[in-house]
Amino acid sequence: MAPLVIAHRGDSAHRPENTLASFVSALEVGADIVELDVQLSADGHVVVLHDGTVDRTTDGHGSVSELSLAELRRLSAGFPERFGDAYRGERIPTLAETLALLKGRARVLIEIKKESVGEDASSGIEAHTIEEVRRAGIVGDVVFLSFEREALRRCRQLAPEIRRGHLFYRGTPEEMIAGAHEVGTDLVMPHKSSLSEGLTRQAHAAGVKVATWVVDDPAELKTLARFDLYAVGSNCPGVLLDALLE
């Protein structure tokens, strides 16, 4: 069975990552799963941005956690270093705006970044993100992702009804399966360099699905077929979807 294609930060090869423009483009090319990243502003708003700072993808500078939502919204999120002025009007979206756009149109993978996980579970990014997902009314279409096991444990405790997925840069098959069991998930997402036939065998035996990222080349996707992947994250979701149709 062909793997599902996840639009990694939206259609991020062709539009500024983690913007509404990128998510709209992902929908237009036919992606039915969209992945995004969340950060928490200084005044407690969940915004969609990969990095802990705004420096790489906006025309501003500073830590997200030290900027208010109003300050963040004044920045252009058009990724000028990569796209010039073509998307200058794009703004850092809130999670609420993004979920409103995607509701009923795509499933959503929300990554909680390791650097955003604080000491207080009750007022941390996990609790705020859960609140937004519940308010949007799409609990059944969301999966929380993280490399940080504590974030996934908190999500399990605070929102057991919302699925989770454990990201890994590296690790043995035994470590990945044990991590999945610990946070109560049937989905692990190791980086493609950590895929192995041993992981495929152990995951099947444990009833755990395996996904990976980032795969932009159809030829590479073909070489990974032996791992029986559940899904692949791609910056070029339209390219992979077209290749799978062919």
pLDDT per residue over 146-169, tens digit each?
A: 999 999 999 999 999 999 999 999
Return d(Cα 223, Cα 3) in angstroms, integer.
13
pLDDT per residue over 8-46, tens digit each?
A: 999 999 999 999 999 999 999 999 999 999 999 999 999
Tokens 């799978």 belong to residue: 244
Active-site residue, 50 included: yes
Active-site residue, 45 included: no
Share of the chain above pLDDT 70, in %: 100
Question: Which listed residue (14, 50, 128, 191) is catalytic?
Answer: 50
CA distances from 101 to 11, 20, 238 (A): 15, 8, 19
- What is the predicted pLDDT for the residue at 54? 98
Residue 192 sits at the vertex; the CA angle it makes with 191 and 193, to the nearest 5 degrees, is: 90
- What is the predicted pLDDT for the residue at 123? 84
CA distances from 103 to 48, 107, 233 (A): 16, 8, 20
- What is the predicted pLDDT for the residue at 1? 84
Which residues of the chain carry a pLDDT beneath 50?
none
Q: Do the Cβ atoms of 17 and 57 come closer than 8 Å?
A: yes
The gap from C-alpha 85 to its chain's centroid, in whole angstroms, comes to 26
Report helix angle 20-28 to 95-102, nearest 10: 20
Domains in the chain, start-ordered, CATH in brackets?
4-245 (3.20.20.190)
Q: What does DSSP say about strands 33-40 and 46-48: parallel, antiparallel, or unpaired? A: antiparallel
